[in-house]
Amino acid sequence: MTQFLISRRDLLAAASVALCAPNIAKAQTRWPLSFTDATGRKVTIKKKPEAVILATGFNLVPLSLIHPDPVSLLAGWSTDMKGDNPFIYEAFRKKFPAIENVPIVGNGHADGLSVETALSLNADLAIMSIWQADSEVGQLAIQYLDSVGIPVVVVVDINRDPLNTTPRDMRLLGRIFEQDQQAEEFAQFFEMRRERIRTKAAGATDARPLVLMDAFPSDIRGSWAIGRTGLGELITLAGGRNVASDNLPPQGGPVTAEYVIAADPDVYIATGSPGGTYTTFSIGPGVDPSEARRTLEETVKMPNLAPLKAVREGKVHGMWNFFNAVPLNILAAEAVATWVRPDLFGDVDPAGSLSELNERFAAVPFEGAYWASLKS
């Protein structure tokens, strides 16, 4: 009898190993891993990265959606997320205290990356965003890092064409860090919400509302109308018309008070950051909803905004500007949809989506006021 029990245990153990073997083999055969990055560069990684440099600190956010301990991956990072959104940094620090000791390699700007520091860290991967790689300095940094032994720089794009590139690049990060299932689930979470908005908007036949999306409005600098790329894509997705679509560069640009008043949009959307870093409008991680509404109300008292039909009719909204740098942008898409076409998207619930995202994906929950409206 004893002999039978021992043999049975052995058989169960062998069966367990056999069941796990395909996954183990799959991980082992993944390396070296070759792919094309967001700039079209052919990239090969020899082994699973364990010491990663983030050329922008905001790329900690996508890692945190697919990896249970993203800070453990870091060999060095830039300070831009910590400087622009200190509440996020503090939330990460509370859960992962080791972040305080991660070496600083730059300030998030392409020309602020210290390659000397990067070289001293024995990193095996550097992740750079496409807006950094677009510059001449960014291109030189990529070439230099490649040439001196950091084997690859992966460029991810969650800014230029976010509706299409965000799920694609999250899947890529999942492959790189052997977090395929989590990345795939997030991509599907994103795509389901995107397609729901796209399908409903495509079925609308009435006139499309005119929208001004105003980045960091200021009574000193005036307005910057966000163009048809980046966050501006969310206007088109929702079935709206963008004030900046026709006569400004794709990314948008500064506009005069006369331009804004002449356009007289049906819907006004401001973007900002916590503490009103670049504008009086304070919104984002760690911001109380009452502060977001109060500062948004102050913002639209500016002379170039107060006369607008959108302001008079209470169609004034605001959101965190740094949705343009992180995969949370699908939440912004849902919020914009409810503002631009409330008749079509009354059943869309961005707050519910945020709760689900926090529960299913976020290593560190995202808290604060990420969007606000003056009309209840």
Low-confidence stretches of the chain (pLDDT < 70) are 1-28, 110-112, 151, 376
Q: How far apart are CA 324 and CA 138, in angstroms?
A: 19
Q: How far apart are CA 192 and CA 189, in angstroms?
A: 6
Domains of the chain: 26-156 (3.40.50.1980), 208-373 (3.40.50.1980)
Question: Longest C-alpha distance within the chain, in Å?
Answer: 92
CB-side neighbour CA atoms (13 Å) of 310? 31
Residue 2 is predicted with a pLDDT of 39
Residue 232 corresponds to which tokens in the numbers above?
């501006």
Residue 177, classed as helix, strand or coil, is coil
Residue 111 is predicted with a pLDDT of 64
Residue 76 φ then ψ, to 5°: -170, 160
Q: How far apart are CA 206 and CA 199, in angstroms?
A: 15
For 38, 72, 319, 333, the CA distances from 198, given in Å and listed in that order, are 24, 38, 20, 10
Neighbours of 198 (CB within 10 A): 17
Residue 199 corresponds to which tokens in the numbers above?
């399908």
Of 325, 327, 30, 34, the residue nearest 152 (C-alpha): 34
Residue 320's H or E segment, with its range, is: strand 316-320
Owner of token pair 């009103």: 276
Neighbours of 336 (CB within 10 A): 31
Instruction: Tell me the helix, strand and coil percentages in the chain, rounded to 5.
Output: 50, 20, 35
Q: How far apart are CA 156 and CA 43, in angstroms?
A: 13
Question: For residue 221, what are the β-bridge partners?
Answer: none
Owner of token pair 């230099």: 144
Q: How far apart are CA 92 and CA 61, in angstroms?
A: 10
Residue 342 corresponds to which tokens in the numbers above?
């409330």
Residue 33 corresponds to which tokens in the numbers above?
């891993």
Residue 3 corresponds to which tokens in the numbers above?
């002999």
Residue 186 corresponds to which tokens in the numbers above?
């997030």
Q: Is the pTM of this model over 0.75?
A: yes
Torsion of CA 258, 259, 263, 268, to 10 degrees: -100
In this structure, the strands spanning 368-369 and 284-285 are antiparallel
Q: How far apart are CA 362 and CA 366, in angstroms?
A: 8
